[in-house]
Amino acid sequence: MSSDRGSRKRRSSSIVYHEPPESIEQLSDQSALPNLNAEWVNAKGTAHNEHPTGMGRRPRAVKNELVSRIGAWLIHPVLIFCLKIVFDIVPGISQETSWTLTNLTYMAASYLMFHWVRGIPFDFNAGAYDNLNMWEQIDNGDQYTPAKKYLMSVPIVLFLVSTHYTHYDLKMFILNLVATILITLPKLPTAHRLRVTFLSGPPDDRSRD
């Protein structure tokens, strides 16, 4: 018991650490109810997915699911478009600065939403996801799913567009590049459940008495 406490203490003092796996109780809580915090990214259709004869998925169900998913994914370009309009109407801001501010604002909001905040804003999951951020909750932590590929591509495409419309200005290029790297690295499989102490805080003690 003392050795376990010592290992937890050493782990807590580490600058970089991996989030430990969930306990049996937490896994049970996660499987008991749907995770509304992460499932909106895929936005599955409500129609039945299986054909009554068991021969596969209904075409209408597939269409409804596709439309719902496109609707959820469309939020990101719409948000970027709205940010661009807001910065464009501010007097004295050039197009180059407007694109850079749009890029930086989206990157900051995306990092805050997907990688900084942990847990879910609902109480009915009994704290089962308190140690996971939204990116780790999406698709049950699976990598390279359609949703994660899309969310990975959005900041990269925005960076390329911003670089083009800032006419490859060196200072703005560096700002946009750093922001893109900071938002892309946490999405890589090697960063899954990886924590930096001064960014995420020490790991929670999951020991059971």
The lowest-confidence range among 27-41, 51-65, 92-106, 175-189 is 51-65
What is the mean predicted confidence (pLDDT) over 85-114? 95
Mean pLDDT of 39-62: 49
**DSSP run (H or E) holding 66:** helix 59-73
**Which of the four pLDDT bands, split at 50, 70 and 90, describes residue 125?**
low
- Whether 203 has a pLDDT exceeding 60, the answer reads no
pLDDT band at 22 (very low <50, low <70, confident <90, very high): confident
Q: What is the pLDDT of residue 158?
A: 97
Is residue 112 over pLDDT 80?
Answer: yes
Sign of CA dihedral 174, 176, 180, 182: positive
Q: How many CA atoms lie within 13 A of 121 on its CB side?
A: 4
Reported as a pLDDT band with limits 50, 70 and 90, residue 198 is low
Which pLDDT score, from 0 to 100, does residue 98 have?
A: 96
For tokens 């430990």, the residue is 20
Residue type, 170: L
Residue 197 confidence (pLDDT)? 67
Is pLDDT of 196 > 90?
A: no
pTM of the full predicted structure?
0.74
Q: How confident is the model at residue 199 (pLDDT cuts 50, 70, 90)?
A: low
Is it the case that residue 204 has pLDDT exceeding 80? no
| Statement: residue 186 has pLDDT above 80 | yes
pLDDT at 40: 66
Q: Can you give the residue ranges of every domain in the chain? A: 19-43+60-195
Q: Kindly tell me if the per-residue pLDDT of 175 is higher than 80.
A: yes
The pLDDT of residue 3:
43
Terminal Cα-to-Cα distance of the chain (whole angstroms): 10
Hey, what amino acid is at 11?
R
Residue 65's pLDDT is what?
Answer: 47
pLDDT (mean) for 121-132: 72
Mean pLDDT along residues 111-121: 86
Q: Is the pLDDT of residue 148 over 80?
A: yes
Q: Output the CA angle 42-34-78, nearest 5 degrees.
A: 30
Distance between CA 71 and CA 40 in Å, rounded? 10
